[in-house]
Every structure is written in C-alpha cells, then in structure tokens.
C-alpha cells in the first residue's frame, strides 16, 4: 500500500465499540461545580478540544499520543462514496495506528461548524471535514466522533465518516490549510 493510499484510509471514522467502557467521572467533578449549564458548557468544550487534539495529533502522525485519545477497542468506520460506488470499511484502532505509522508525507484533516451533544458521560461531535495528504486535496465528508468520559478524561469509542469529493461535499470555508497549495 502506498503512503498516499494508507493515509487516505486513516482518516476514517468509527462507529461503535465492542467491550466495556471505563467508569464515568461525574460531570459535577468538572468545571462548573453544581451549575448544570456551566457543567454542560465545560463538557462540550472539553469534548471538542479532545476531537481537535486528535486531528492535530493525526497530522503529526504521533501514533503513541494518538492511541491515548481512544479506548483500546475503538472502531473506525468509513463509508466511501466515489464514482457511483459505495464501500464500507471497518477498522480497529490498531489498524489505524499501523496505517498511520506507514505514512511518510504530511497530512491534514480539519473540521468546522461542529455540532456537539453531551449527555452525562456520553458525547457526539458531528462535523464536515476535509482531508489533505502530501500537499494536495484527498477527500471531504462528514465525521461523527463518539466519546465517553472516563477517569482519564474524554476518550473516543468510534469515528464514523463519509469519504467523498466535491460537489458531494465541501472543503473548509477558509480554503486549503496553510502550506498546501490548491484545492479540488
């Protein structure tokens, strides 16, 4: 598999987790104390921070740090819709880590306009994204990031994403990332 093909398969998304979840830390233990609205806002901000840190870590291809943002048996699921074909791929966290370790070119994934939902120790982030590899546009789509609040903080249980190309999806409203020329 080429490094470009490997990178195209890594920003993926995962859609469910087999196995048990770590104990949940109560939201009242987070910022906001006994104020439910402040606790909800703090939880939403922490969830979104976790997802954005995962994207930055993915871009740095730091597999050891990346692994720490996921539960051990997290899944990544992609639904690729290109050229009238639809395929679904389910990968484990280990498969993501292995494919990312093989990538030798810069990668960048960005989300925007995220919708963040939190209910106690469960959270969902839904957002459009675009993905660049080796200095060029690869694909775009939507991603759904599922998280649980563990004693170690928010951890991803799964990422489920679509993989498409314009006009079926949009690139980031700011255009290509800094240092990357061109777009679709």
User: Within a domain: residue 169?
Assistant: no
pLDDT at 83 (0 to 100): 84
Q: Residue 5 pLDDT more than 70?
A: no
Q: Residue 98 has which token pair?
A: 């292995």
Q: Identify the domain containing residue 147 by its residue range.
A: 3-163
Which domain CATH number covers 102? 3.10.450.50
pLDDT at 132 (0 to 100): 95
Mean per-residue pLDDT, 9-38: 45
Q: Exposure string (b/e) for 161-181, b if CB count within 10 Å is 16 or more?
A: bbbbbeeebbbbeeebbeebe
User: Within a domain: residue 33?
Assistant: yes
User: Within a domain: residue 80?
Assistant: yes
CA distances from 23 to 33, 45, 139 (A): 20, 21, 36
Picking from 127, 133, 70, the residue whose alpha carbon sits closest to that of residue 106 is 133
User: Within a domain: residue 173?
Assistant: no
Q: How do residues 33-47 score in pLDDT, each as one tens digit?
A: 578 889 999 999 999
Report residue 3's pLDDT band, with 50, 70 and 90 as the boundaries. very low
User: Within a domain: residue 181?
Assistant: no
Look at the chain and report how many structural domains it folds into: 1
Q: How do residues 109-128 score in pLDDT, each as one tens digit?
A: 999 999 999 999 999 999 99
Q: Residue 100 pLDDT more than 60?
A: yes
User: Within a domain: residue 168?
Assistant: no
User: Within a domain: residue 174?
Assistant: no
Q: What is the pTM of this model?
A: 0.79
pLDDT at 9 (0 to 100): 37
Q: Residue 92 pLDDT more than 50?
A: yes
């Amino acid at each position: 598999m080429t490094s470009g093909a490997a990178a195209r398969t890594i920003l993926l998304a995962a859609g469910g987790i087999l196995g048990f979840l770590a104990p949940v830390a109560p939201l009242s233990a987070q910022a906001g104390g006994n104020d439910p609205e402040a606790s909800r806002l703090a939880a939403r901000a922490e969830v979104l921070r976790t997802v954005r840190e995962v994207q930055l870590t993915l871009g740095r291809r730091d597999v050891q740090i990346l692994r720490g943002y996921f539960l051990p048996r997290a899944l990544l699921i992609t639904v690729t819709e290109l050229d009238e074909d639809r395929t679904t791929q389910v990968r484990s966290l280990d498969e993501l880590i292995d494919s990312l370790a093989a990538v030798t070119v810069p990668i960048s994934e960005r989300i925007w306009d995220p919708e963040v939902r939190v209910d106690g120790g469960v959270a969902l982030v839904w957002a459009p994204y675009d993905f660049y590899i080796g200095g060029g546009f690869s694909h775009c789509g939507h991603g759904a990031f599922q998280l649980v609040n563990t004693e170690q903080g928010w951890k991803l249980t799964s990422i489920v994403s679509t993989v498409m190309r314009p006009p079926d999806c949009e690139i980031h409203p700011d255009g290509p990332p800094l240092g990357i020329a061109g777009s679709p």
